[in-house]
Structure 1
Amino acid sequence: MDEDWTADIDAEPLKSGLFAPVLVLVPPADVGPPLRRVLPGEYPSAEHAKFAALDAFAEMTLR
């Protein structure tokens, strides 16, 4: 990933009342809008979902 890109984690509320983990990739403004990738899984709180997203992000950096 180019150093002009940034990454973040988020949680998306689901209709069930649970939360899904989300990876957010933010490219430079001239490339386009942020890319949100909803990951599999449903968690009881936004904090749990964000930790799951953080785990997925950490795993990606090890590859």
Structure 2
Amino acid sequence: MMGHFMDIKETAEYLNVSVSWLYKNAQRSGLVIYRFGPGPNSKIRFRVSEVESWVKQQQVMSG
């Protein structure tokens, strides 16, 4: 079964960042973006499981 996806607004809310931050920094930060459809009207989606994995990788160990 294919993983569930979130749109850009849902992903921004999940990560507590702005939509504009996601547009500017998602790929640079290592988040995988999926585009559905051609051209400027394509839909941007993020796979939930990959976003959750990315969050875990951002943990900073203190010590």
TM-score normalised per structure 2 = 0.34
Specify which structure has the higher proportion of strand.
Answer: 1
Specify which structure has the higher proportion of helix.
Answer: 2
